[in-house]
Amino acid sequence: MGKTTGRSEVPLRRTYRSLSTAGGRLLLLLVLAALAGCQFESSITPIPWPTVGSQPFQQATLGPQPSPVPMAPTPLPTPIPFLGVESLLCGDPKGGDNHFGFCAIPGSDQYYIWAECASACPDGPYPGVELRIVTDSSQLRDYMIILKDLEDAINERKEGRNQGWLLGGLDFLGTVLGFGAACGLGSEFTFGLSCAGWLLTVSAGGIGSYLGFDKAADAKREQQGFEESASDKFREIP
Amino acid sequence: MTQLPRVGQEIRDRFARVSVAGFLILLLWIEFGTGITALMDGNSKGWAYLTIGIATALFWRSRRFWPIVSKSTSASFYPAVALVGNLGMLAMLLIPSLEDATDIPFIFYNAGLTRMFILGAVGSLIAVGALVANVWVYMQDRKRG
């Protein structure tokens, strides 16, 4: 029994020795590592982070928010309508309208002249109209003559139109309502003196009406030409 | 036997009254309008236009007006003549007014031209109204037979 026990003790001892040797070495390593770890000192420099100080607590507005109140837009300066001679302190001579015109400044040898702006209007009190103060000159005299012709053309245009409408209206009425009385009807139709007179009258009325409208059309063309001339002459006046 | 002609005569008279009234209102507008605007422009011819207008109004209200006019309005082709007359007067007023309208706003720079434009524009509206009234009465009469 003793031998059997003795034989089995040998490998156990060897195993024990080898384990104890390996364990001892491991233990030694652990002890050395622990000693090295305990001697470690950190060299970290703390970073000073800036922080916001404590904020006072703001109470939220819980009440109803005011609705936007409509406000009237800032009023723009009202443009002053230009009325021609009536807008200025004028003396004689004077002429034109609120489109193109001129007038003498009382107590001086100067004149107001004005014209509709052809393109961009310089800054002035009246929108769309350029107003200048000038002295007497040949160009100013030409401007006055052109404006007189322009006024005549406008008057002719109105007169021609009135003539056309008046004669045309009378002519239509005479034609529509007068043929029965003048010429008779149906079997009673007679081309007598009254019928001939009626025909002549309505024909003359028609021609007169046409001439009136034609005169108005010519005057309108003249008016446009004089307006262009007045605009050009206005810029030539020194 | 006597009922039918009387109804036909009434219908014919109604169209005649409406069409003649349209023509005369338009003519009086032209006469008084041109007269007043001419006087406002300082044109003494305005008195002549006003006189013609007064004469037209007096003639319209006189007893001799309808006996003379009815000789034309009793014609069977009178509605066609009245329609042509309506269109003619409308064209006479509307075409120059449309031409003036292309000049807006320059037409308003001159007070005289502005008055002329208003005269033509209102006249055109009266002419359109007269034409519509005539056509409407004529169609109504056609329905009644």
* A5 confidence band (pLDDT: 50, 70, 90): very low
Contacts of B126 (CB under 8 A, 6+ apart): B22, B25, B26, B29
Distance of alpha carbon A158 from the chain centroid: 36
pLDDT, position B126:
94
Average pLDDT over residues A28-39: 65
The pTM of the full predicted model, rounded to 2 decimals, is 0.65
pLDDT, position A82:
72
Average pLDDT over residues A1-14: 46
* A58 confidence band (pLDDT: 50, 70, 90): low
Q: Report which secondary-structure segment, H or E, holds A130.
A: strand A129-135
- pLDDT at residue A125 greater than cutoff 60: yes
Ranges of each domain in chain B? 3-144
pLDDT tens digits for range A143-181: 889 988 988 898 888 889 888 998 988 888 888 888 888
Give the number of beta-carbon pairs within 8 Å between A and B.
106
pLDDT, position A131:
81
Average pLDDT over residues B77-90: 89
A63 compared with A152, residue with greater pLDDT: A152
Q: Which residues of chain A lie closer than 8 angstroms to B72, CB-CB?
A: 176-181, 185
Q: Spell A67-101 as b/e; 16+ CB within 10 A means b.
A: eeeeeeeeeeeeeeebebbebbebeeebbbbbbbb
Task: Name the closest residue on chain A to residue B88, using Cα atoms.
Answer: A172
- Flag whether residue B17 sits within 8 Å of chain A, measured between CB atoms: no
pLDDT, position A53:
60
- Flag whether residue B49 sits within 8 Å of chain A, measured between CB atoms: yes
CA distance A191 to chain B (A): 15
User: A91 in helix, strand or coil?
Assistant: strand
* A76 confidence band (pLDDT: 50, 70, 90): low
| Cβ-defined contact of B23 to A161 (cutoff 8 Å) | no
* B25 confidence band (pLDDT: 50, 70, 90): very high
Average pLDDT over residues B60-84: 87
Nearest to B16 by CA among B61, B87, B66: B66
Query: What was the ipTM of the complex prediction?
Result: 0.81
pLDDT, position B14:
85
CA distance B41 to chain A (A): 8
- Flag whether residue B113 sits within 8 Å of chain A, measured between CB atoms: yes
B137 compared with A12, residue with greater pLDDT: B137
CA distance B145 to chain A (A): 23
- In DSSP notation, B12-65 reads HHHHHHHHHHHHHHHHHHHHHHHHHHHHHTT-THHHHHHHHHHHHHHHHHSTTH
Task: Name the closest residue on chain B to residue A81, using Cα atoms.
Answer: B109
Least reliable range by pLDDT among A83-97, B49-63, B67-81: A83-97
- Flag whether residue B68 sits within 8 Å of chain A, measured between CB atoms: yes
Q: State the best of B49, B110, B122 to mutate against chain A, taking most chain A CBs within 10 Å.
A: B110
pLDDT, position B26:
92
Least reliable range by pLDDT among A222-236, B6-20, B85-99: B6-20
Average pLDDT over residues B19-47: 91
pLDDT, position A39:
61
| Cβ-defined contact of B38 to A213 (cutoff 8 Å) | no
> Taking a contact as any Cβ pair under 8 Å apart, which residues of chain B between 126 and 145 contact chain A?
none
| Cβ-defined contact of B34 to A165 (cutoff 8 Å) | yes
- pLDDT at residue A132 greater than cutoff 50: yes
Nearest to A176 by CA among B48, B91, B82: B82
pLDDT tens digits for range A182-238: 887 655 666 778 888 888 988 998 999 999 999 998 998 898 888 888 888 888 888
pLDDT tens digits for range A100-119: 888 888 888 888 888 877 67
